[in-house]
Chains A and B, each alone.
Chain A
Amino acid sequence: MTAYALLLPLLLPVIGVVTMLIGVRSARTQRIGGVLFSGLTFVASLYLAWLVDREGYIVLQSGGWAAPFGISLVADRFAAIMVCVSSFMGVAVAWYAVGEIDEFRLRRFFFPLYLALMFGVNGAFLTGDLFNLYVWFEVMLIASFVLMAMGGRKQELEGALKYVSLNLLASMFFLMGAGLIYGITGTLNMADISAKVAAAPDSTAVLPAAMLLFVAFCVKAAIFPFFFWLPSSYHTPPPAVSAIFAGLLTKVGVYALFRFHTLLFVSLFSHFQTLLIVLSVFTMVTGVFGAASHFQMRRILSFHIISQIGYMTVALAIMTPLALASGIFYLVHHIIVKTNLFLISGVVLRMKGSDDLAHVGGLSKSAPWLALLFFIPAFSLGGIPPLSGFWAKFGVVKAGLDASHWWVVTFALLVGVMTLFSMTKIWAEAFWKKQPELDEEASGALECTEPAEVRRSLRWMLPPITVMALATVVIGLFGNPLFRFTERAAAQLIDAESYRAAVLIPTDPGEGYPEQTVYEKEAE
């Protein structure tokens, strides 16, 4: 029975999508349903994580077809914690969206699409099949396309066009890679591919196909030469939408890269290691310089997503147990902090009518609570102890030093300082300086909301921000259980053999019902 727990984080959002299509006329139903179903998904994901931590692996062979023939759904600790964190973001941003998203968008299927996005993200984390992963990516992408273009304003349409076209190209690379991999190995099951590639005496045949997949995942993760879609689109949709994108979408790409290197093509890693390190360093550096050159909150933050992705992939490229554990820890920390910063920029936008640093100011006087709420994630992102970002960076740097990647560590630390610089820029401009006098043209461009309306929406927008800021502090101060968990997850990632053994044990189709099996792998 336990294997069915794997289905809950997938089924609940999809049930949500279907039921909320019925009540689309009423904005109230949409709001209640959105929060309810994302909340249920979060609860289910916590249950799944608890189960996975107990069992090691939970595998569901869909339709009862034994492993390499059917589609396997697999949850190991890494997948489980990703599902957990993304569902946490799901419920937090849904709560925020209740106050932020207008009725126009609510009646145009905002929440069904939002839940479809969560459905796609969770599916991508939980699948054990390469082609199925492609399908989950598409589910996620289609939902995100519509969410991004929904408002129909000029900026949104332009941003969406760039986002859509580059992501479509990436999907094509993914499809070709998956097809060629099938042509070579004769299987699509990730565990089976992993076994076949590891057993093959000569890796050259599979390398071009692997490269196609690598490029596809790099585009999704916004790695250095492929990141251009991100900063030109993430600041255009409503803040709730860009927050959930910022938190989850690129991280699905990073997740796929982790699987790519630790499971699918373990034996090819030597071909990729140097490439991945160089790309990651470039990603960190270009991201942080891009951020330094911008003056609008959400665009600065968009570039910081790119720069932070570099830390995660550098951790992956170092590939020691400590590095992987800190990479996973970094992912968790980054998702929470980055989503929170986007949500805060949304509050600034709502209060001041703009998130351009030239047009806002004086927030430390007019909204001291917001200043505190900004301070926590911003300085966590910069890596100031004792917040969560410090431990994440500390782990990556320590792993880099242990593996004597001196110059990588140097860049990582320098980029950390630059990140702090960007955060202090936002702090000084938006919070410390006086509210600037705006000329006619600038104040005409503001998207002002009536004060009563602002107060009402802030009532919904602030609680999730507070909870996430608290989470950042708690992870920073009492992060040990989480870090232990990520260490156990990293131990599983290093040991690809255990993943294969958990998925590939043949099962009988049974008497018309799917046969599920839970495999006890590790005795800890």
Chain B
Amino acid sequence: MEWFLALLVGTLFGCGVYCLLQRSIVRLVIGVLLLSQGANLLVFLSGGLTMGMPPMVAKGEKLPTPPFADPLPQAMVLTAIVIGLGLVAFLLTLVFRAHEAVGSDDINCFDSTEKSHGAAESKS
């Protein structure tokens, strides 16, 4: 099962990077979304998969009997998913507003922060 999820992480990263390299800012959002899912899955996998063994303590015991699934990566992934949700929601709004302001979703049109309004221009 781990090999399958590892492949899935790789595919997600591949697709994410492909989207990021496009010119459209909407694809940028999709790329970020895919990459963050890939990252979440990677963190989830990092503790190793132990299937069907929840870390429950049996009655009368003090420790769960090994092998049991590591709950910490799952807690981390939950945190990361929540943070990611907020950030992607913000990014979507930002992209929408930026698209309204610039009037294009081509990243090449987003150059007003790069242009120099310096002396060279005003003197010429």
Contact = CB atoms under 8 A, between A and B. Distances in A.
Given A131-B76, A295-B119, A358-B117, A182 B47 contact: yes
A146 B114 CA distance: 21
Contacts of A153: 101
B94 interface: yes
A169 B28 CA distance: 11
Given A183-B47, A358-B119, 14 more contacts: A138-B87, A142-B87, A145-B87, A149-B97, A153-B101, A157-B101, A158-B98, A160-B94, A160-B98, A165-B32, A165-B91, A175-B39, A182-B43, A358-B121
A178 B43 contact: yes
A183 B101 contact: no
A152 B39 contact: no
A161 B94 contact: yes
B46 A179 contact: yes
B95 A138 contact: no
A234 to B, nearest CB: 10
Contacts of B118: 294-296, 356-358
B72 interface: yes
Contacts of B86: 142
A175 B87 CA distance: 14
A135 B81 CA distance: 12
A154 interface: yes
Contacts of A429: 119
Chain B interface size band reads 35 or more
A161 B110 contact: yes
A159 interface: yes
Interface in A132-173: 135, 138, 141-142, 145-146, 149, 152-155, 157-162, 164-165, 168-169, 171-172
A233 to B, nearest CB: 7
A442 interface: yes
Q: Which 6 A-B pairs have the closest CB atoms?
A: A295-B118, A179-B43, A183-B46, A358-B119, A157-B98, A179-B46
19 contacts: A142-B90, A149-B97, A152-B97, A152-B101, A158-B98, A161-B110, A165-B91, A168-B91, A172-B36, A179-B39, A179-B42, A179-B46, A179-B73, A180-B42, A183-B73, A294-B118, A295-B116, A295-B120, A358-B119
Nearest to A141: B87
Contact of B113 (A159, A176, A180): A159
A193 B44 CA distance: 19
Given A162-B113, A182-B76, A356-B117, A172 B91 contact: no
Nearest to A354: B117
Chain A interface size band reads 35 or more
A155 B112 CA distance: 6
Given A168-B91, A357-B118, A161 B25 contact: yes
Interface of A: 131, 135, 138, 141-142, 145-146, 149, 152-155, 157-162, 164-165, 168-169, 171-172, 175-176, 178-180, 182-183, 188, 232-233, 235-236, 294-296, 356-359, 429, 439, 442, 445
Given A179-B43, A179-B76, A157 B97 contact: yes
A149 to B, nearest CB: 6
A295 B14 CA distance: 40
Contacts of A359: 122
Interface string B76-117: 100110010011001100110110011000000010111011
A289 to B, nearest CB: 14
B48 A161 contact: no
Contacts of B116: 294-296
Interface in B36-54: 36, 39-40, 42-48
Nearest to B109: A158
Contacts of A155: 112-113
Given A158-B102, A175-B43, A232 B80 contact: no
Contacts of A182: 43, 46-47, 72-73, 76
Nearest to B90: A145
A188 to B, nearest CB: 8
A303 to B, nearest CB: 12
Nearest to A146: B90
A169 B35 contact: yes
B35 A172 contact: yes
B95 A161 contact: yes
A171 B36 CA distance: 9
A143 to B, nearest CB: 11
A232 B119 CA distance: 19
B91 to A, nearest CB: 6
Nearest to B32: A168
Nearest to B96: A157
A176 B112 contact: no
A152 B112 CA distance: 14
Given A232-B113, A357-B118, A357-B119, A176 B42 contact: yes
Contact of A164 (B43, B94, B114): B94
Contacts of A138: 83, 87
